[in-house]
Amino acid sequence: MLQLAIIGLSLISSCFGHYELPADLKLGAVTAAFPIEGGWNEGGKGESSWDFIVHNYTDFLVSDLPPEELIAQAKVAADSYHNWREDIRVAKELGLDYYKFSIATTRIIPRGPYNPVNQEGIDYYNNLIDGLLAVGITPVVTMYYYDGSQAASFFYGGFSNPLCVDAMVRYADVLFAAFGDRVKIWDTFQDGYKECKEIYGEFIGNEYEYFPRGEYEYLCGRYLILSHASIYRLYQDKYKAEQNGLVSMTFGLDWYEPADEGAQEAALRAMDFTFGWFASPIINGDYPQRMIDTIAELSEIQNFPQSRLPPFTEEEKVLIKGALDLMVLVHRNTYLVVDHFDDSFPPTAQKDVQITRFIDQEWNDTNSFYTTTPWGFREAVKYVWDNYGQPEIAISHATYGAYEDSLNDDFRIHRLQQFLQEVTRLIHEDGVNIKYFSMWSLIDSFFFQYAYTAKFGLYHVDFNNPARPRTPKQSASYYRTVIETRIP
């Protein structure tokens, strides 16, 4: 009887196309260290690769600010290094279930991989974690959000160097030991695809020709995946019994829709070369077969003595397979794709996919930094659910990067509402097990190479005011209401 009543209720609500968010879905907001912290050389912090990029490669940045102003802004950003109490205050004002932030690697281990631990860095995050817990907000931590130490990133070759695996395990060991009594959800890496294809390939590979593209990206991917898996195993062996937390990784999940009937294979290849590049090894123990075959064929045509995608050994396959407690997804864009054959030398990871991608101009919201379409988000999450063994899923981060800098951000409310409604459909109609949803971002920030070009915050930050005050946008009050009522 009760069951019938529930079915009846959900039928009624689905007639109106709206479901509620389940009570056990945790709602949060996300930030990352480099975009918000500032204090770039304070408290014993070392120089990160992003400090170096912003301070020395202003040409690479997309910004209207003059170079000196850009550098000065990056050094302070939203000044969360000093304003962390304000971040906790606004997180509490929103009523967040959880707040996901990242630890600046160079606050903990300032320079090379073997530097001593910087206690001031540990103290900073202890304050933040304790402050969150004191107001009932669960801290969720990303260990590495694109911001390795400059010394390790450039001079050791970062993730292209096998040494990074031991260095990352040592770093993770420090974090588990220092914070694991209170932090129960760990994300090792933010989006390996973005790290390896864009930062290593398109930035470092373009600037320095001695990092050969088409090889370097795959070395980065390989050792990033091995680092993640080794950190996962460390936690299982040394901490899990006592701390009982989850170790995950965040995967970039753009959606590739075939532009026409003939482009089905191109779309599947695009999913394999982006999401699958990182998710498939960690779920299945190896790269997607399409990726292995395509890169091997191209490498042969290009006269490489072996595939530019180095294979995992049998031992490594055992290490990486299943090294994940939660599938954390970041959706940004939806694209149309067609095949595009390109075996030209020199190769790049970008060319290897053998596609051209574009968007339908009807989706083009010219105020939006990403071309996200809510239906593309739903398709992408369904794809993961159907093809990757129905994992427990966290959506991190739904986002609306607006070129318009306004407190009356109806556009963001509209997009956030669409996202949340797709989440309810994924749960109620597609049976997908989504347990976490978070919004990028809690506050406006210095958004890597795009600086202040687009604004992502639920809270506005006044970057012209030395105190960097936080002011709620309309979207903050919308989100607060959703967290309370569970009705998007």
x/- mask, ligand NAG, residues 55-74, rule CB under 6 A, reads: xx------------------
- CB 333, min distance to ligand NAG, A: 8
Compare residues 149 and 190 and give the one whose CB is closer to ligand NAG. 149
Regarding 359 and contact with ligand NAG (CB under 6 A), the answer is: yes
Strands (E), 110-170: 138-144
Residues in Cβ contact with 152 at an 8 Å cutoff, skipping those fewer than 6 apart: 111, 112, 113, 158, 164, 167
Residue 175 to residues 118, 134, 167, 224, 367, Cα–Cα distance (Å): 12, 20, 13, 18, 39
Instruction: Find the binding residues for ligand NAG in span 370-429 (CB under 6 A).
Output: 371
Compare residues 154 and 304 and give the one whose CB is closer to ligand NAG. 154
Please give the structure tokens belonging to residue 397. Answer: 């981060």
Compare residues 56 and 289 and give the one whose CB is closer to ligand NAG. 56
Compare residues 86 and 254 and give the one whose CB is closer to ligand NAG. 254
- CB 207, min distance to ligand NAG, A: 12
- CB 131, min distance to ligand NAG, A: 29
Compare residues 38 and 347 and give the one whose CB is closer to ligand NAG. 38
- CB 410, min distance to ligand NAG, A: 20
Compare residues 117 and 359 and give the one whose CB is closer to ligand NAG. 359
- CB 198, min distance to ligand NAG, A: 16
Compare residues 303 and 366 and give the one whose CB is closer to ligand NAG. 366
CA-nearest of 230, 248, 217, 177 to 395 is 248
- CB 164, min distance to ligand NAG, A: 21
x/- mask, ligand NAG, residues 14-53, rule CB under 6 A, reads: ---------------------------------x---xx-
Give the chain's length. Answer: 488
In angstroms and rounded to an integer, the radius of gyration of the C-alpha atoms of the chain is 22
CA-nearest of 78, 55, 100, 372 to 250 is 100
Residue 375 to residues 189, 348, 414, 435, Cα–Cα distance (Å): 26, 30, 14, 20
Compare residues 42 and 47 and give the one whose CB is closer to ligand NAG. 47
Interatomic CA distance for residues 133 and 143, integer angstroms = 19
Residue from 364, 390, 433, 481 in contact with ligand NAG (CB under 6 A):
364
- CB 54, min distance to ligand NAG, A: 8
Which span sits near ligand NAG by CB under 6 A: 27-35, 220-228, 264-272, 364-372? 364-372
Beta bridge partners of 101: 141
- CB 423, min distance to ligand NAG, A: 25
Task: Please identify the residue of the shown chain whose CB is closest to the bound ligand NAG.
Answer: 55
Residue 165 to residues 83, 189, 238, Cα–Cα distance (Å): 33, 13, 17
Which span sits near ligand NAG by CB under 6 A: 121-129, 260-268, 283-291, 359-367? 359-367
Interatomic CA distance for residues 43 and 295, integer angstroms = 45
Please give the structure tokens belonging to residue 344. Answer: 């030209």
Strand order in the sheet with 355-358: 255-258, 334-339, 355-358
Helices then strands, counting H and E runs in the chain, come out as 21, 13
Residue from 3, 244, 303, 366 in contact with ligand NAG (CB under 6 A):
366
Please give the structure tokens belonging to residue 68. Answer: 């000196």
Site size toward ligand NAG (CB under 6 A) is: 9
- CB 364, min distance to ligand NAG, A: 4
Indicate the burial class of 380 (C-beta count within 10 angstroms; 0-12, 13-18, 19 or more): buried
- Where does this chain bind ligand NAG (CB under 6 A)? 47, 51-52, 55-56, 359, 364, 366, 371
